[in-house]
A = this chain, B = another copy of it.
Amino acid sequence: MPELRQDPITKEWVIIATERAKRPHDFATVRKGEEIPPFLASCPFCPGNEAQTPPEVFAYRSSGEKNSSGWRVRVIRNKYPALVRRGTIERREEGKLFRKMDGVGVHEVIIESPVHNRLIPLMENREVEEILFAYRERYNALKKDPLIKLIIIFKNHGKSAGTSLEHPHSQLVATPVVPMHIRRRFEVATGYYDDTGRCLLCDMIHEEKALEKRVVMETDKFIVFHPFASRSPFETWIAPKRHLSSFGNVPDEDIPDLAGVLKTTLLKLYKALNNPDFNYVIHTAPVDDENKNYYLWHIQIIPRLTTMAGFEIGSGIYINTALPEETAGFMRELVV
């Protein structure tokens, strides 16, 4: 029979209902990396087309000047930004009840490779390292801006995950507010810290490690697992084994290990699920809280195998059609 599980961090419940996996489905089929051309003249992210994008804000280069080809990883402002660095954070009232403010912030695109079909799971580890270094570089540059309260780095892969461009890229959005969604997690984690003197997420990692059954892989510094209250099939977390609230503070020497783990994790998903659409998000403490002991940065990967529908919108409860113990076991055994 189905099971309800409570997420220890959000206190939300999820329903694990594996019978529902037998419903008729047609999962979206995505082209595999090998079937995508390595270069596309019409792609604004392909080399030679640098003038078609907003100006570069950062790059790792082998040759060439800013806004020309020769880059290995390139960071630009988003052409259609959700937030822009203009205006003020002053709140304004509309009528008696409604509150608004300028859409102040930063929205950047991290182009992960000059090669149009070079997906992270098919990269060499050192290429993935540079993406992560670029993430951290931009994170730490933007957090100095006193208006910025939260920096979210994420990747949308495939159409059902919200990508509008095929060329491998991730995004960064820096917001001038800490959303309630994040504050609530902090409330729960702070309450736990006040009670126990320990980080809730670190304790969760220790539990998963001790229980073993949901662990996919481990290295010296990182652990990969399918969380107890996974909200969708094959939801995967990559978390550091030592306490650190902010992604901005990940030390240099941890990046190669993280690159290997991220690449292997995505390659396992790529092989097992035939290049699924997915999102990943780097969860990290709000900028002003990055030295607090209540939170642990981590990467959450969500393959888009199911659809958020009316029930999820109405209740906030997700229905997961797979048991995380089973999916984790499957991924653990999968050799890549």
Contacts and interface: CB of A to CB of B under 8 A. Distances in A.
Interface string A296-326: 0000101000111111011111010000000
A160 interface: yes
Contact of A97 (B8, B16, B83, B176): B8
A235 to B, nearest CB: 10
B182 A13 contact: no
Nearest to A211: B95
Interface string A275-314: 0000111110000000000000000101000111111011
B22 A80 contact: yes
A96 B207 contact: yes
Contact of A1 (B94, B103, B207, B302): B103
A6 interface: yes
A309 B101 contact: no
A2 B83 contact: yes
Given A25-B164, A80-B20, A175 B1 contact: no
A144 interface: no
Given A13-B179, A152-B315, A171 B95 contact: no
A96 B2 contact: no
A220 interface: no
Interface residues of A, number: 85
Residue among A13, A175, A313 with the most chain B CB within 10 A? A313
Given A5-B98, A80-B23, A281 B310 contact: yes
A104 to B, nearest CB: 8
A242 interface: no
Nearest to A84: B1
Given A17-B103, A164-B25, A310-B171, A315 B182 contact: yes
A319 B249 CA distance: 28
A162 B17 CA distance: 16
Contacts of A2: 81-84, 102-103
Contact of A82 (B25, B176, B319): B319
A250 interface: no
A171 B103 contact: no
Contact of A101 (B3, B162, B179): B3
Interface string A117-139: 00000000000000000000000
A204 B96 CA distance: 9
Contacts of A141: none
A73 interface: no
A156 interface: yes
B181 A12 contact: yes
A221 interface: no
A97 B203 contact: yes
Given A95-B211, A210-B95, A175 B310 contact: no
A187 to B, nearest CB: 10
6 contacts: A1-B84, A1-B103, A8-B98, A10-B180, A24-B164, A279-B313
